[in-house]
Amino acid sequence: MRSLLIIVLVFLLVACSDKPESFLPNEKFNSIFENPSEGVNYEPLDIIQTEDNGYLILAESALDAVFIMKITSLGQLAWSTTMPATFENPVADLIFNEGKYYFIASTQADQTATLIEVDDFNQSVTPTQRTYVGYRNPLAFGRMNPENFLLLNYNDTTGPVLSKIQSGFGQEWARRYDSTAIEIDAIDEIRNNTSANFFVGGFDNGENTYFHSLRTNGYALTFTDEQGIETGKVSGTSEDKVISYAYLGNQAGAINYVVNGNSFFQLAMPLQNNDSISLNQVGGESLIDKTENDNAQIINTEVVATANIINLYGTVDGRIKWTNYAVGSGSIQQIDYVGGNDPLKVKKAIGTRDGGIAILAKITIAGSRERIAVQKIPREELLGIN
């Protein structure tokens, strides 16, 4: 009897000590962050899932202020803060490194790229001492491989400059690609008023990298080796451009792009080293319902052990359309829409740890109030399971 009692007590202790999951795979939320008394419009820029399964959001206000917001795994506001006016033009790329979150912003005085640290635990946002002097007008910041990062700048005299940033955020090398530059005022106008995306990335553990920027003859998605030496390029024009790109493996990637004002999506664009092609040669699916000047996002994810690509973009009726493709076959698994009466524009979308996706969008309320919207779509909806 005593042995039986001990077994029962041990079972109860073990059962009670198991902590419940912070969220379930089928949980979803649709949150809009609006403060009517504030009256400030916001441009959401980036979202990243935090260690506690919440989300950190980077945005910029209509007053050019840098704004950071943390929400919980259920889409509720946890904390928010606005940076001093000495910094502006945050780059739409949050990264996680050794327990902290980081992004790049420009000093208001001379547009020098500066590393900003976000401490979620202490709810603080602090400029670091790491400034990249001589590298102004930052456009993109992202991972090269698990240990290193890439920084894309557009300098006054050299045009696009790609830098390798080490794990401690020191600069290892920098490469320029053009002998002539485009006026910085043109870069600012493009960054603020169009759907042009400037982005960087790496694959094959950083042995290959890519960046999208303005080159001398127009927009280009440029591929390089691990030292930043150009190995290939997908060339556009001053109007034709790449909107987003995701590497799939085997020298192929998914790509959203615009040619002659028409939007296209190619699920698997092959590109070998030293290839240089025009966007006119890429082909793919015509997105006839996509808003011309709206963003498009690609999520390279895995749903129930199957490699998937989820493509998202804004439609002409103000909603966000997402399509789930199976990478191996190219077949469509599911199509659905996000949105209602108030127009939405997708800004960033990410895969979540539970197999779902989180969509960061700008919502325009009552025709004028531009606010931050975040929607979590669970794995079951991606698969069409109700």
- 381 or 8, greater pLDDT: 381
* Per-residue pLDDT tens digits for 246-294: 998 888 899 999 999 999 999 989 876 667 899 999 999 999 999 877 8
Residue 164 and residue 171: Cα distance in Å, rounded?
6
- 245's tokens: 């790109």
Residue 17 and residue 4: Cα distance in Å, rounded?
20
pLDDT at site 212: 94
Protein fold of 29-295: Neuraminidase (2.120.10)
325 pLDDT exceeds 60?
Answer: yes
pTM summary value: 0.88
Per-residue pLDDT, averaged over 86-91, amounts to 92
Q: Give yes or no for a contact between 55 and 47, defined as CB atoms under 8 angstroms apart.
A: yes
4 pLDDT exceeds 70?
Answer: no
What is the band of 211 on the pLDDT scale with cuts at 50, 70, 90?
very high
Question: 155 φ, ψ to 5°?
Answer: -85, 160
Q: How many CA atoms lie within 13 A of 304 on its CB side?
A: 12
Per-residue pLDDT, averaged over 10-26, amounts to 37
* Type and span of the H or E element at 139: strand 138-143
pLDDT at site 23: 42
In whole angstroms, what separates CA 167 from the centre of its chain?
20
pLDDT at site 6: 33
45 pLDDT exceeds 80?
Answer: yes
- 219's tokens: 């927009």
Residue 263 and residue 196: Cα distance in Å, rounded?
13
Question: 149 φ, ψ to 5°?
Answer: -130, 170
Q: Tell me if residue 41 falls in helix, strand or coil.
A: coil
Per-residue pLDDT, averaged over 120-139, amounts to 91
DSSP letter for 21, please.
P
pLDDT at site 205: 93
Per mean pLDDT, which of 129-143, 163-177, 297-311 is the most reliable?
163-177
pLDDT at site 15: 32
Per-residue pLDDT, averaged over 12-21, amounts to 34
Q: Where are the domains of the chain?
A: 29-295, 296-386
